[in-house]
């Protein structure tokens, strides 16, 4: 049967593509890898900003679940920018384990990619938060955007370690499923349609994404520490009302367990399982 160029790839071919993509990502030169990681952090921050604005506008107007769904669809903009525009995102790069398990990527190269990309994502996300704060976007909607950001970040910072890990696992299983589905795509439209449902699902369900939290935590802390009195008067709260929200709770209490969970969810539950199903025999064949 002829291989039609516009037919979507089937899972076995998707696995081969995922392995090849992971091998290429692992050997990118440092300047390229870091620059693309900064872009990805900024792209995810844009999605998070979009989701915050949508949630602020919908609050108290529509039911909770619908608000979360709308925020999730808005947030998917971030991963669309990453995967269609081209950037290096830590959570998606946990799938490089498929190339590592097949012997195409060394452990040192895998860890090098994760560390560089994670650092670049952090720079991009926090830099975007700085721009958002300086631009005063948090004060839009009579302060409702900033109030939504503060409430979300305070809740994230208040998570205990085990729930944060679990929510991180669930999140990146869905994020990496979105990335995995794009390996079947032949067109940009295919890729976008594959991305939106899993990403909308993880946001709607309240799961935890480390790179998104780099933005959520930093913008909320900038607002808490430096917003003028007029902002607090507009939302009817004070900085002391957000007791969970500190730099220590953000960096250590949230990012650490969420990152651990993201690695488990992406590298093991998605990358590991699909490697086992479709690629483990290929390594044995090469060794023979």
Separation between Cα atoms, residue 240 and residue 197, nearest integer Å:
37
Q: Which region, left, alpha or beta, applies to residue 270 given φ > 0 means left and ψ of -120 to 50 means alpha? A: alpha
pLDDT tens, per residue, the chain with 288 residues: 345 556 789 999 999 999 999 999 999 999 999 999 999 999 999 999 999 999 997 767 889 999 999 999 999 999 999 999 999 999 999 999 999 999 999 999 999 999 999 999 999 999 999 999 999 999 999 999 999 999 999 999 999 999 999 999 999 999 999 999 999 999 999 999 999 999 999 999 999 999 999 999 999 999 999 999 999 999 999 999 999 999 999 999 999 999 999 999 999 999 999 999 999 986 655 554
**pLDDT score of 61:** 82
**pLDDT score of 62:** 87
Separation between Cα atoms, residue 199 and residue 81, nearest integer Å:
13
Tokens 């998605």 locate to 270
Instruction: Look up the pTM and report it.
Output: 0.94
Separation between Cα atoms, residue 169 and residue 231, nearest integer Å:
36
Tokens of 107: 């452990």
Is residue 68 helix, strand or coil?
helix
Structural domains in the chain, sorted by start? 11-281 (1.20.1080.10)
CA distances from 105 to 25, 27, 111 (A): 10, 9, 10
**pLDDT score of 60:** 73
Q: Which region, left, alpha or beta, applies to residue 60 given φ > 0 means left and ψ of -120 to 50 means alpha? A: left
**pLDDT score of 281:** 80
């Amino acid at each position: 049967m002829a291989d039609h160029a516009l037919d979507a790839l089937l899972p076995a071919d998707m696995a081969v593509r995922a392995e090849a993509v992971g091998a290429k990502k692992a050997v990118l030169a440092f300047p390229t890898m870091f620059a693309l990681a900064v872009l990805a952090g900024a792209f995810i921050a844009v999605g998070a900003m979009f989701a915050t604005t949508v949630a602020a506008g919908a609050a108290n107007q529509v039911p909770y679940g619908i608000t979360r769904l709308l925020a999730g669809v808005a947030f998917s903009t971030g991963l669309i920018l990453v995967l269609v525009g081209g950037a290096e995102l830590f959570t998606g790069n946990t799938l490089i384990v498929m190339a590592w398990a097949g012997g195409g990527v060394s452990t040192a190269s895998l860890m090098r990619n994760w560390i560089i990309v994670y650092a670049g994502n952090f720079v991009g996300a926090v830099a975007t938060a700085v721009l958002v704060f300086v631009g005063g976007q948090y004060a839009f909607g009579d302060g409702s955007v900033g109030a939504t950001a503060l409430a979300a970040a305070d809740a994230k910072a208040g998570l205990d370690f085990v729930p944060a890990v679990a929510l991180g696992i669930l999140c990146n299983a869905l994020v990496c499923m979105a990335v995995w589905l794009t390996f079947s795509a032949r067109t940009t439209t295919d890729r976008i349609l594959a991305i939106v449902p899993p990403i909308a699902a993880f946001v709607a369900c309240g799961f935890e994404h480390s790179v998104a939290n780099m933005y959520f935590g930093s913008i909320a802390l900038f607002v808490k520490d430096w917003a003028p009195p007029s902002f607090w008067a507009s939302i009817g709260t004070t900085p002391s009302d957000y007791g969970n929200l500190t730099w220590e709770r953000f960096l250590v209490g949230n990012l650490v367990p969420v990152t651990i969970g993201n690695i488990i969810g992406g590298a093991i539950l998605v990358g590991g399982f699909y490697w086992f199903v479709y690629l483990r025999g290929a390594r044995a064949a090469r060794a023979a």
